[in-house]
């Protein structure tokens, strides 16, 4: 393990270890050379399906791309980075449990919509405007009305 502060590879000491519900391990470490502390996160690498885009193109599932989309939807909203990581992890885990080699991008979009609806309704509307193609104020208003009725 190379220290991210001093780049030393003399080793680190594990101070604390915690496990999350997805099987990941978070370790708090201390560099033996510069004594600075940092955290690492370990998770098993499981295969995720290829994503079939609307135009028929196929690409690897990209967790970072998913997180970027979630962050854009949640800009200036009271949603923590931990909540976004959790949602991305849940979506990734659901895709892995499906056991399919390929999955349409709409399946992922539906999971994001459902997760954002529970997490932050303003972020949900932001994402829905693009994902659901709400191209005028009337369509946005209808979606807002549906959201208000479900409360």
Mean model confidence pLDDT for the chain: 89
Domain range enclosing 93: 50-149
Q: Region 39-49: what's the mean pLDDT?
A: 80
Nearest alpha-carbon partner for 112 in 94, 98, 134: 94
What 3-state class would DSSP assign to 118? Answer: helix
Query: Is 115 within 8 Å of 94 (Cβ atoms)?
Result: no
How many C-beta atoms surround the C-beta of residue 14 within 10 A?
11
Q: Residue written as tokens 């940092």?
A: 38
| Position 1 in a domain | no
pLDDT score at 46: 67
pLDDT 10s digits, 82-115: 999 999 999 998 998 888 899 999 999 999 999 9
Answer yes or no: is pLDDT of 48 > 90: no
CB-side neighbour CA atoms (13 Å) of 46: 16
pLDDT computed for residue 15 by the predictor: 95
Q: Are residues 65 and 116 in the same domain?
A: yes
Q: What is the pLDDT of residues 17-32, one digit of tens each?
A: 998 766 689 999 999 9
Closest CA to 105 of 74, 66, 47: 66
Total number of domains constituting the chain: 2
Q: Is the pLDDT score of 16 beyond 90?
A: yes
Question: Do residues 79 and 114 both lie within one domain?
Answer: yes
Question: Do the domain assignments include residue 4?
Answer: no
In a domain, 85, yes or no: yes
Sheet of strand 25-31: strand arrangement = 12-19, 25-31, 37-42
């Amino acid at each position: 393990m190379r220290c991210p502060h001093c780049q030393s590879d003399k080793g680190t000491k594990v101070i604390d270890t915690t496990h999350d519900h997805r099987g990941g391990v978070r370790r708090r470490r201390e560099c033996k050379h510069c004594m600075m502390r940092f955290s690492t996160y370990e998770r098993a690498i499981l295969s995720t399906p290829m994503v079939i885009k609307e135009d028929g193109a196929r690409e690897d599932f990209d967790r970072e791309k998913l997180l970027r989309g979630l962050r854009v939807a949640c800009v200036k909203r009271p949603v923590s980075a931990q909540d976004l990581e959790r949602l991305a992890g849940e979506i990734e885990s659901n895709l892995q449990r499906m056991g399919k080699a390929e999955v349409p991008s709409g399946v992922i979009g539906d999971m994001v919509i459902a997760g954002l609806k529970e997490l932050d309704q303003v972020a949900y509307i932001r994402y829905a405007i693009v994902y659901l193609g709400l191209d005028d104020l009337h369509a946005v208003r209808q979606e807002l009305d549906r959201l208000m009725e479900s409360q």
